[in-house]
Amino acid sequence: MEKIAQDVLARAEQIKVIIFDVDGVLTDGSLYFDADGREFKVFNSRDGHGIKMLMDSGVDVAIISGRSSVALTRRAEGLGIEHVYQGKQDKLPAFNELLKTLSLRPEQAAYVGDDVVDLPVMVRVGLAVAVADAHEMVKQYSHWQTLHAGGKGAARDICELIMQSQGVLQQHLDAYLSRD
């Protein structure tokens, strides 16, 4: 992992929940529709494994998306993500509801976004993350930027950063080498 600023690691160490946007973060932002208007999304399997490792380490994962999609519902269920808010053009009420549900303060939350609709939440969290190919204004208001683009490993980047800052990444990775 690249050299990460101490203030970013300190922020990441406090994270109890990470919130992901979907289009442009968990996907590359492309929207696919078949002839009948059904929507398809493409998710990265390594991002999914990073999310599972992060949840196994005790950090909650949530999704707040401006769009609604059956594909997202299935992906979230497959990963075991319980806190999913879809069709939320204004993401702030969902963010506030999530904090209340989990009894957390804003500084205990991280948010990963890619576009200006994510900024109302990003400016309130303890760790605001922009994916590598995010809008310039989102990058300007982020504490850290992923090495990879949305849908191409960005979620894995931030999951591993949080786990590294909390001192659990290496034990998760070592577990794959010590299996009998």
One-character DSSP codes across 22-43: STTTTS-S--EE-TT--EE---
Q: Which residues pair with 26 in a beta bridge?
A: none
Residue 93: alpha-carbon gap to chain centroid: 18
Radius of gyration over every alpha carbon of the chain, rounded to an integer in angstroms: 15
Q: What is the pLDDT of residues 143-160, one digit of tens each?
A: 999 999 999 999 999 999
pTM of structure: 0.95
Residue 64: alpha-carbon gap to chain centroid: 10
What is the distance between the alpha carbons of residues 53 and 169, in angstroms, rounded to a whole number? 9
Is residue 28's pLDDT more than 70?
A: yes
What is the distance between the alpha carbons of residues 180 and 176, in angstroms, rounded to a whole number? 10
Q: Mean pLDDT, the chain, as a whole number?
A: 95
| Reported confidence tier of residue 2, pLDDT bands at 50, 70, 90 | low
Structural domains in the chain?
Answer: 6-174 (3.40.50.1000)
Residue type, 14: Q
Q: What is the pLDDT of residues 72-124, one digit of tens each?
A: 999 999 999 999 999 999 999 999 999 999 999 999 999 999 999 999 999 99
Inter-residue contact 149 to 129 (CB < 8 Å)? no
Inter-residue contact 134 to 115 (CB < 8 Å)? yes
| Reported confidence tier of residue 39, pLDDT bands at 50, 70, 90 | confident
